Amino acid sequence: MTAILAWAIAQFLKIISWAFVSKELNFRRLVEPGGMPSSHSAFVTSLSTGIGIYEGFDSTMFALAAVFAVIVMYDASGVRRAAGKQARVLNRIIEDLNRRELHPERLRELLGHTPFEVVVGAALGIVLALWRL
């Protein structure tokens, strides 16, 4: 339950951080990928911290959860972020094509997280797991 709570709080904080930066309230941020903080990171670090607290930080379950968390956070800040950068370049190409009366669909650019967003999400997950003791 703590991991789900960490995810939900992170998703809610995305609305607030988006409003602070863009000066507009966007409730779609609840279901869109990317943004501050990383809800993926909050979820997996809360899960692994909770397992560490209850099963022991020297347990096999914690080791498994920690490796899972690292893979998820690497994907969030590496692979998905790179895909978002590629989408940005492709969207520029599409805009150029649209000037020629073609209308291909724009790609979603905000797919991943910056390393800072991942760290903040991870910290949120750990703090929530420790708080829920």
Contacts of 124 (CB under 8 A, 6+ apart): 6, 9, 10, 13, 37, 41, 42, 45, 46
| pLDDT (tens digit per residue) in 26-72 | 787 777 777 788 888 999 999 999 999 999 999 999 999 999 999 99
pLDDT at 16 over 80: yes
Distance between the two ends of the chain, CA-based, in angstroms? 12
pLDDT digits (tens, 9 = 90+) for 68-100: 999 998 887 777 777 777 878 887 887 777 676
Domain boundaries, the chain: 2-77+111-131
pLDDT for the residue numbered 37 = 86
- Tally of CB atoms within 10 A around 95: 11
- Compute the average pLDDT of residues 15-27: 84
At residue 46, the pLDDT reads 94
Q: Give the CA count within 13 Å in the CB-facing half-sphere of 103.
A: 0
Cβ atoms 6, 72 nearer than 8 A: no
pLDDT at 20 over 90: no
| C-alpha angle 106-111-112 in degrees, rounded to nearest 5 | 155
Residue 116 has pLDDT above 90, yes or no: no
* pLDDT attached to residue 30: 74
CA atoms of 123 and 43, how far apart (whole Å): 10
- pLDDT value of position 51: 96
Contact status, residue 41 vs residue 73, Cβ threshold 8 Å: yes
